[in-house]
């Protein structure tokens, strides 16, 4: 979580200072999801979404290539042609989407159809859940009994519109109506970990809707307003560790990643 967070904070700061001005979709606030899923499930194929920097880093992606992609260099993950949204790296088994929100869901379903022995993980957001091709994919994977796990990063916002203003139904209920094993949980790391282990014992396909918070704007360098139902899972985990006499570990870890991220970004930005 610290590794992802310090990378993203440095990306945010450099974007704010206009050291690069390409589009950027930060995953700050959602680090626990990508960290825990990557640690819980090994040797899988991953389909990311537009807030996918953390997915890439958690799965062993090259941070230098990620920076280069974000700042538009041909040494980036997509040769500088995709930018922040469609992070793609076949070496680590990660496929990005092409910009149409949620389009990775039917693609992931198709991949799973022809690679049934390989577990497929597909991320998407609560806004993407409302696209017709996403919901249609649920029926497809259920009918074919595919080896796929859907993870919905539910930050309750589609750009700036909360879920209550967009729909009256719940994603978990819809998934269950298609015969998919589905649960709704928070972004607590242990909660994610233990529920993934429970799901793995049952037959896939499955869906985990993970309630989380987006700390920064949908796009760009701005901070979302902290409302009534806002929380920072990173800060919560940090406080728990400190209460268990792990303050030294926390401080050392953060300092290590702060220094690493600062050096990484400074070196890569010199290429511009």
User: What was the pLDDT predicted at 20?
Assistant: 94
pLDDT at 25: 93
Residue 123 backbone dihedrals phi, psi, to 5 degrees: -95, 145
The pLDDT tens digits of the residues spanning 253-268 come to 999 999 999 999 999 9
pTM of the model: 0.95
| pLDDT value for 59 | 96
**Across all residues in the chain, what is the average pLDDT?**
94
Report how far residue 103's alpha carbon sits from residue 75's, in angstroms, rounded to the nearest whole number: 25
Helix axes 2-16, 63-70, angle to 10 degrees: 20
Residue 19: HSE in the Cβ half-sphere, 13 Å Cα cutoff: 19
148-154 and 120-125 beta bridge pairing: parallel
State the DSSP H helix or E strand holding residue 162, giving kind and residue range, or none if neither: strand 161-162
pLDDT at 3 over 90: yes
How far apart CA 212 and CA 230 sit, in angstroms, is 9
Number of CB atoms found within 10 A of residue 110's CB: 15
How far from the centroid of its chain's Cα atoms is residue 266's Cα? 25
Indicate whether 270 pLDDT > 90.
Answer: yes
- State phi, psi for 185 to the nearest 5 degrees: -135, 175
Output DSSP code: residue 224: P
- Is the pLDDT at 57 greater than 80? The verdict is yes
Give me the percent of the chain exceeding a pLDDT of 70. Answer: 98
Q: Is there a contact between 125 and 154 (Cβ–Cβ < 8 Å)?
A: yes
* Closest C-alpha among 66, 3, 44 to residue 265: 66
Q: Tens digit of pLDDT for each residue in 144-167?
A: 999 999 999 999 989 889 999 999
Task: List, for residues 59-114, the tens digit of each pLDDT value.
Answer: 999 999 999 999 999 999 999 999 998 999 999 999 988 778 999 999 999 999 99
Whether the per-residue pLDDT at 216 is higher than 80: the answer is yes
Structure confidence by residue, pLDDT tens digits, 25-50: 999 999 999 999 999 998 899 999 88
């Amino acid at each position: 979580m610290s590794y992802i967070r310090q990378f993203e904070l440095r990306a945010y700061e450099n974007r704010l200072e206009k050291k690069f001005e390409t589009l950027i979709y930060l995953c700050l606030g959602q680090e626990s999801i990508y960290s825990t899923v990557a640690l819980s499930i090994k040797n899988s194929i991953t389909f990311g979404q537009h807030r996918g920097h953390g997915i890439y880093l958690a799965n062993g992606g090259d941070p230098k290539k990620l920076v280069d992609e974000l700042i538009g260099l041909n040494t980036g993950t997509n040769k500088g042609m995709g930018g922040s949204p469609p992070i793609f790296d076949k070496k680590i088994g990660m496929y990005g989407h092409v910009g149409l929100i949620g389009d990775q869901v039917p693609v992931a379903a198709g991949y799973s159809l022809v690679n049934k022995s390989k577990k497929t993980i597909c991320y998407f957001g609560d806004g993407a859940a409302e696209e017709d091709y996403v919901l249609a994919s649920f029926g497809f994977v259920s009918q074919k009994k595919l080896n796929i796990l859907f993870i919905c990063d539910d930050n309750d916002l589609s750009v700036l519109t909360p879920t209550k203003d967009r729909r009256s139904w719940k994603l978990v209920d819809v998934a269950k109506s298609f015969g998919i094993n589905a649960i709704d949980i928070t972004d607590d790391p242990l909660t994610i970990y233990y529920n993934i282990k429970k799901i793995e014992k049952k037959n896939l396909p499955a869906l985990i809707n993970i309630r989380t918070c987006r700390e920064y704007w949908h796009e760009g360098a701005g901070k979302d307003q902290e409302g009534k139902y806002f929380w920072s899972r990173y800060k919560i985990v940090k406080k728990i560790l400190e209460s268990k006499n792990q303050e030294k570990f926390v401080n050392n870890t953060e300092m290590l990643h702060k220094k690493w991220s600062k050096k990484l970004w400074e070196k890569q930005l010199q290429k511009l």
